[in-house]
Amino acid sequence: MRPPALPRVRGTLSWLLQLGYTTLRLFKQNGLQNHAAATSFYFLLSATPLLLLLSYAMQLLGHIAENSVPATILMAALYNQLQLESLTALGFIPRQAQLSAGGVGLLTLLLSSRGLVNTMQGAFHIIFPDQTKRNLVVSWVLPLIILPVLFLLMGVASLAQVTLSFLAQNDFIGTGNAQVLKTLNTLFGFAMVWALLFAAYWRLPRRHPRARDAALFALAATVSLGLLLMLFGAFFKLENYLSLYGALGGVVFVLIGAYFAFLLLYLWAQALYSCGKADITALEKLFLGGSGEGASKLEGYVFADAHRLLEKYGEIHPAGHTLIAEGDDSRIAYFLYAGRARVFKNTNGGRRPLGDLNEGQLFGEMAYLLNEKRTASVVADTEITVLALPPHIMEELMRHSAPLSRRIIDTLCQRLERMNLASPG
């Protein structure tokens, strides 16, 4: 039977604490702050030629505006809302773009796009470790396409937003109507950013996480990026960087903003991976009893509460209950959390005891490891509380924890030796 239901709030808080600790530990261990810096650099290389292309569009729009009122309104909206004059003054947009420079800008855009996407793929490969390789054609062609398309979509959303703002400020379509359309466009932009992050979190890992988990963490990342944008505008002023770095102040300003944005993106990606491994990490700490490699007092405190694991995997059995019967085909392994059990083996002379199982021991894993029937019986000597672990959990544990794997193999060797001694002749 299952143990009594424990308070869900306690289990949720314990899970969140373990998730946060594991995420931060892996984030630092994987050096993702360095990957964020590299990604922000490629982002800047990609954004600069896009601004150059924007200058071409503005020149073309200027020629059209000479004979078109709507084009004049659009051009004024872009200059006012996107502060293109400031970008031109900072040197991001040249005052006169030449065709040769445009060719260089387009080539830079394509190459930097590939560098940006490959850098993100490399970071995700570290966050979500896997040995499989991607298709060579996809790995070369996709980066050359995806970034210009993404920037184009984001540019369309931004263009619609600033145009509506300009029209509302000048009372062309009515303030109320413009505000509704502006709100809808903001929601559309939010949804688009969420969709991009969801696609990255779901498809970039070679072993794709569950779509539901990827969607949830993409939502958290999108909200975090929105908060970052507000805080960044409040605490970081472009004028300060201009006064400190001169003409390079604008570049430094954009690099810092992109760096923090990609830090958040990778942090939530690491949290997504940690979420999928939360039970595995907690089970590892429980089985090793705080004696694992690199264990600390903080780690012992974070993983000290086993109630969540008991609620999910725990079983309580009375004294005399046969938990494992020799010859069965089951592959479930057990961890003895409380109580005592005895191991027996059938021989020609009857049932022969092989030893006792005490609290803190993992047993029943031989059937999983050897893919054979049960070689012995386990009977509860007192009332016992065990954690029942299906084969896929054992597989994850063996892959995740080298110390635990060594302990299991050592225990397996000792049991095989005892069984050989117990066998007749």
Q: What is the pLDDT of residues 138-171, one digit of tens each?
A: 555 665 566 566 666 666 666 666 666 666 666 6
Q: In this structure, is the dihedral angle defined by the CA atoms of residues 96, 99, 104 and 105, taken in order, positive or negative?
A: positive
Euclidean distance between the first and the last CA atom of the chain, given in angstroms as a whole number: 41
**Alpha-carbon distance 337 to 284, whole Å?**
13
- Residue 100: its pLDDT value, please? 43
Q: Within 10 A of 62 (CB to CB), how many other CB atoms are there?
A: 12
What's the pLDDT tens digit per position in 369-401? 878 888 889 999 999 999 999 988 888 888 888
Could you tell me where the DSSP H helices lie in 66-97? 69-81, 84-90
The Cα-based distances of 266 to 18, 205, 209 in angstroms read 18, 12, 15
Rounded to whole angstroms, the Cα distance separating 64 from 228 reads: 38
Residue 216 sits at φ, ψ, to 5 deg, of: -65, -45
Reported as half-sphere exposure (CB side, CA atoms, 13 A), residue 349 has a value of 7
Prediction pTM value: 0.74
**pLDDT one-digit tens code per residue, 95-142:** 554 444 445 556 666 666 777 778 888 899 899 987 666 665 555 566
Domains in the chain: ranges and CATH: 31-275 (no CATH), 306-422 (2.60.120.10)
Distances 191 to 150, 183, 217, 222, 223 between C-alpha atoms, Å: 13, 12, 14, 9, 11
